[in-house]
């Protein structure tokens, strides 16, 4: 039975039942399947709410103990994969409350006091999102660490740098790899900001307008591992969809970095370039052409990263212009959010493993350097040593190249890298130590947040979380 139904309302004719089933299928969409993934967090939120009801005097210690025992048992069923939702359950909140109602007649129904499915889903979604963001950050840091190792190993392997897709100036494979390492570290900034937005507890806001019960929302938020509660009860509910948009926007920024990196992997591993060699397990063959190996993992990664941008648009269009209060439109934000969280984690796992097996053809990389790549060096040398204004030196070099009177050469790497040794972040001075320092700082931040969250959740399960102080 639905949480909002009377027993008499649940009794229907066969025709009414068929019509109701069609409506339920339409309304639930993929929601029942998605909610199964959130069931663990709903049980944890219920544990915190039960403690709040105990502290508010709505449950006796004995009643609280019985509810807690049943919820912990249900949590065990969920973690062992034995918990399933049916379409008639409507959502995970109904399924959990129905479980308690059957198990603890009539006590199970008391857990609905002071909360609504509106603040429940907002809480559950934030808990799941926080957990996933911590995992995604760990994945991004892992990929960054692999790129730093790769860059150090290939710091002096020459490579033609490009602008507009054409050869431009000399660089190194290590310099190229560090570009993406630093980009990933920068991409963690918006993800950290998204975590701060997510890390606030809505529980106790009920349908958006609170309740007359003396519930300690700050204590409940703390018990669930949130840094603080959402202060305004209306925003606690109305923020649904907007918070998801902020999260997915941050992940889309990460996706932009991954997409460009995937494109470089494809381009630099082409047979006519062959600077990079992709691990064979990350390529596939052709059903027609026996000689082909295709960079399918990088191509699919690029497409999935692009889809993250699409999900931000989808979320924005769902919630834009909604009047204040709860609207069921926001149910449709769950799919884009969970999809974006999953895709981000899968992308990072796949590319980390790919980089670990990535090979560099040193000789082929060196062959990409041609004399013309050093034309800028020639102009700058005249500006520096002959005191010729740079623009004049530029014109001289360009004119001599067109006339064929300037003979440029490809100097040994030690020579042109030494000339760049004092310019931080250039091929001659990679700045590895600075980026390793940033990586270490980010690891410390995310590790502390993960450990704090895990500790709070475990204390809640053990019966210590949310205790009165």
Residues recognised as catalytic: 164, 286
Dump the DSSP string for 181-198. HHHHHHHHHHHHHHHHHH
Report the C-alpha gap between 144 and 125 in whole angstroms: 28
Q: Is 100 left (phi over 0), alpha (psi -120 to 50) or beta?
A: alpha
Q: How many residues does the chain have?
A: 469
Please name the residues in contact with 376: beta carbons below 8 A apart, sequence gap of 6 or more: 169
Instruction: State the Cα angle at 38 between 36 and 40, rounded to 5°.
Output: 95
Q: What tokens appear for 145 in the block? A: 């660490």
Distances 208 to 114, 116, 225, 451 between C-alpha atoms, Å: 11, 9, 21, 31
Q: What tokens appear for 311 in the block? A: 């999900």
Report the C-alpha gap between 4 and 253 in whole angstroms: 41
Contact in structure between 400 and 197 (CB atoms under 8 Å): no
Report the C-alpha gap between 367 and 364 in whole angstroms: 5
**Nearest partner of 427 among 369, 358, 355, judged by Cα:** 369
Report the C-alpha gap between 300 and 215 in whole angstroms: 48
Contact in structure between 296 and 284 (CB atoms under 8 Å): yes
Q: What's the sign of the alpha-carbon dihedral 184, 187, 188, 191?
A: negative
Distances 202 to 96, 129, 250, 327 between C-alpha atoms, Å: 19, 14, 21, 16
Please name the residues in contact with 425: beta carbons below 8 A apart, sequence gap of 6 or more: 431
Please name the residues in contact with 40: beta carbons below 8 A apart, sequence gap of 6 or more: 75, 78, 79
Report the C-alpha gap between 148 and 174 in whole angstroms: 8
Number of Cβ within 10 Å of residue 428's Cβ equals 22
**Nearest partner of 443 among 133, 140, 130, judged by Cα:** 140
């Amino acid at each position: 039975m639905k949480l909002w139904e009377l027993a008499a309302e649940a009794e229907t004719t066969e025709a009414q039942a068929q019509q109701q089933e069609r409506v339920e299928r339409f309304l639930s969409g993929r929601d029942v399947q998605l909610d199964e993934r959130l069931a663990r967090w709903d049980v944890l939120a219920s544990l915190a709410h039960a403690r709040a009801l105990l502290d508010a005097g709505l449950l006796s210690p004995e009643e609280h103990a019985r509810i807690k025992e049943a919820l912990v048992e249900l949590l065990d069923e969920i973690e062992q994969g034995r918990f399933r939702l049916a379409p008639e359950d409507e959502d995970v909140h109904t399924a959990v409350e129905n479980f308690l109602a059957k198990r603890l007649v009539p006590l199970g129904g008391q857990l609905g006091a002071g909360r609504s499915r509106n603040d429940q889903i907002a809480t559950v979604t934030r808990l799941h999102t926080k957990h996933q963001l911590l995992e995604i950050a760990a994945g991004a840091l892992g990929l960054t660490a692999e790129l730093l190792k790769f860059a150090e190993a290939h710091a002096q392997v020459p490579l033609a740098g490009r602008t507009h897709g054409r050869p431009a100036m000399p660089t190194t494979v290590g310099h190229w790899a560090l570009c993406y390492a630093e980009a990933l570290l920068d991409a963690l900034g918006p993800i950290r900001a998204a975590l701060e937005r997510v890390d606030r507890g809505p529980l106790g806001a009920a349908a958006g307008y609170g309740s007359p019960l003396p519930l300690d929302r700050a204590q409940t938020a703390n018990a669930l591992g949130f840094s603080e509660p959402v202060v305004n009860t209306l925003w606690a509910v109305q923020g649904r969809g907007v918070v998801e948009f902020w999260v997915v926007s941050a992940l889309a920024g990460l996706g932009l970095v991954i997409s460009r990196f995937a494109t470089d992997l494809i381009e630099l591993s082409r047979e006519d370039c062959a600077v990079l060699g992709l691990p064979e397990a990350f390529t596939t063959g052709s059903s027609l052409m026996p000689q082909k190996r295709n960079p399918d993992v990088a191509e699919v990664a690029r497409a999935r990263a692009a889809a993250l941008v699409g999900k931000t648009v989808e979320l924005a269009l769902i919630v834009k212009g909604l009047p204040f209060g709860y609207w069921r439109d926001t149910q449709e934000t769950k799919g884009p959010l969970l999809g974006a969280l999953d895709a981000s984690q899968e992308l990072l796992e796949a590319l980390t493993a790919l980089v670990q097996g990535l090979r560099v053809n040193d000789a082929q990389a060196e062959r990409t350097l041609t004399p013309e790549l050093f034309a800028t060096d020639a102009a700058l040398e005249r500006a520096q040593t002959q005191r010729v204004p740079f623009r004049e030196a530029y014109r001289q070099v360009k004119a001599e190249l067109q006339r064929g009177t300037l003979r440029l050469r490809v100097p040994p790497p030690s020579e042109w890298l030494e000339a760049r040794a004092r310019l931080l972040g250039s091929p001659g001075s990679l700045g590895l130590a600075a980026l390793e320092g940033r990586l270490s700082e980010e690891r410390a931040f995310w590790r502390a947040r993960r450990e704090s969250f895990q500790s709070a959740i475990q204390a809640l399960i053990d019966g210590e979380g949310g205790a009165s102080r």
